[in-house]
Structure 1
Amino acid sequence: MRKLLALVLGVALLALTACGSGTPKSVGAVEPLSSIKVTPGADDNTAPKVEFDTPMKATAPGAKVIEEGDGATIKAGQDVTYKMSGYNTQDGKEIGNTFTDPAMTLSLVDELKQADAEIYDILVGTKVGSWVAYVRPDDTAAATEGESKSAEPAEAAQVLVLKVVGAKDKPAPKITFNKEEGDAKKGAEASATLDDDGLATVKIPAGNEPPADLKVTTLKEGDGAKVKKTDTVTVNYAGATWSDGKQFDSSYDRGEPATFGLNQVIKGWTQGLEGVKVGSTVLLTIPGKLAYDGSAGKPQGTLVFIVEVTKADAAAK
């Protein structure tokens, strides 16, 4: 999903703009944003007054720092908090704003860079306190069935204005494994819950009688393509042994995802991730027969993994 708002708002407000005595930093096609002027409100809870020449004709995405703040420089990987307002490009009227609401958060991660490169690039290196204008045409609208798509480029219907109010490093991610106490229960399975940041707390049932077969539980279903067993996948993961619930490996702790051919890992991963949609997080309970099978230096017996699939590429021919 390419639109910024689809990623971070989940509300009907579709556009934003900002303006002021600007700095030259810009990304993409910014000429349509050249006339924007902004008069900040009394504080961060008051919407600005925004003016621009109408109608604004924008047929390509662009973002521009209208007025740079005096706060800390924003870095890739940080969580940025912001407020915004949206305006109709035809008459300049405000569509709505979020200045009276708590600040929203946008994570400057690779997923955002791929979906909305202009917003990612304009924010990284900009300072907290900045006003940013952003416009993107709706280029996702499909032609009516039986009709050809118009040769005319799509025009943006709204323009967005962001006030960056804060930026901070993301907390160190942590997956928690808990080995429950008590007597073993026949057929008991591991379970997990995800918090708002997508990090999991895993409960491993008491005793040492794990399921005999591979168990795959979808904790969060993504909207990407289904993984093929020959794909090269990029994942974040953490693994623990069923017998004691102790974690033995975690890409989260290393601070970077892992990339590998899905047909080059243990069978439990190959079988468990085949058919999973990119963007999903799954819980894998892998019996020893599909795990490391006595490999020296590797954990033995049944293993429990949390796996977040972030990317999948077809194997090169």
Structure 2
Amino acid sequence: MKIGFLLLALALLVSLVAAANMDKYNLRKGKEFLEKKALEEGVVALPSGLQYKVVTEGPAGGKSPSAADTVSVHYRGTLIDGTEFDSSYKRGQPAQFGVGQVIRGWTEALQLMSVGDKWELYIPSDLAYGPSGPGSIGPNQVLIFEVELLDIVGGSSAQPAVAGGKKARKSKKKQAKEEL
């Protein structure tokens, strides 16, 4: 009986040490990934730590959602090693959710996007799930999302995007920095 209890306690201790090591490993690897990514052409790094790259720019004058809006998006989520953990594309239909009801990295990015935009997001763990990653997402993992903003389907506070393509992006980035 005592041996069984000791073996169980030892197994628990080993699993706790392994989890702590994974936590530190993911933090280190995530930091390295984000540092490299920030140097790539076309990648924008925001003060919050969120990084993004515009893959496709929607039509000029497209609306941008606020945190109170509901949006329709297609997305694919991967870990930095390329492991896909979620995809609306695979389900065959876009997802709908409140902009303010998702991880902080998504909330920040969606408010900078315009309908029709497709961005690649690089989200640090503190803007994602932090030390308590759900399912196949481990503790403190950086997440990569390909996000296509299809429509604003609910809410009434959508803002018209500033006309001018790249000027509009710069204006939105400046506004985001001022709000932080």
TM-score bucket (shorter structure): 0.5 to 0.7
Mapping of residues 1-317 of structure 1, within 5 Å:
187-189=35-37, 213-223=49-59, 224-242=62-80, 244-293=81-130, 294-297=132-135, 299-300=137-138, 301-315=141-155
Larger RCO (alpha carbons 8 Å, 6+ apart): 2
Over 3 Å counting, the alpha-carbon distance change for 1:307 and 1:186 in structure 2 is closer
- Structure ID, larger Rg: 1
Counterpart residue identity of residue 58, structure 2: G
CA distance in 1, matches of 2:34, 2:53: 18
Given that 1:232 and 1:262 are in contact with CA atoms closer than 8 Å, whether structure 2 keeps it comes out as yes
For residue 299 of structure 1, report the CA deviation from its aligned partner: 1.2
CA distance in 2, matches of 1:226, 1:213: 21
CA distance in 2, matches of 1:220, 1:298: 29
Q: Which runs of 5+ in 2 are unaligned?
A: 1-31, 41-47, 158-180
Q: Deviations over 1:207-233 (max 9, x none)?
A: xxxxx8110211111122122222101
Counterpart residue identity of residue 37, structure 2: E
Over 3 Å counting, the alpha-carbon distance change for 1:186 and 1:231 in structure 2 is closer
Q: Which runs of 5+ in 1 are unaligned?
A: 1-183, 192-211
Given that 1:216 and 1:285 are in contact with CA atoms closer than 8 Å, whether structure 2 keeps it comes out as yes
Given that 1:292 and 1:298 are in contact with CA atoms closer than 8 Å, whether structure 2 keeps it comes out as no
Counterpart residue identity of residue 100, structure 2: N
Partner of 1:130: none
Number of residue pairs aligned between Structure 1 and Structure 2: 115
For residue 280 of structure 1, report the CA deviation from its aligned partner: 0.5
Give TM-score, length-normalised by structure 2. Answer: 0.57
For residue 275 of structure 1, report the CA deviation from its aligned partner: 2.3
Q: CA RMSD in A?
A: 2.7
Secondary structure class of the residue paired with 1:274: helix
Secondary structure class of the residue paired with 2:64: coil
Secondary structure class of the residue paired with 1:312: strand
Counterpart residue identity of residue 315, structure 1: G
CA distance in 2, matches of 1:296, 1:236: 21
Whose strand proportion is higher, 1 or 2?
1
Given that 2:34 and 2:122 are in contact with CA atoms closer than 8 Å, whether structure 1 keeps it comes out as no
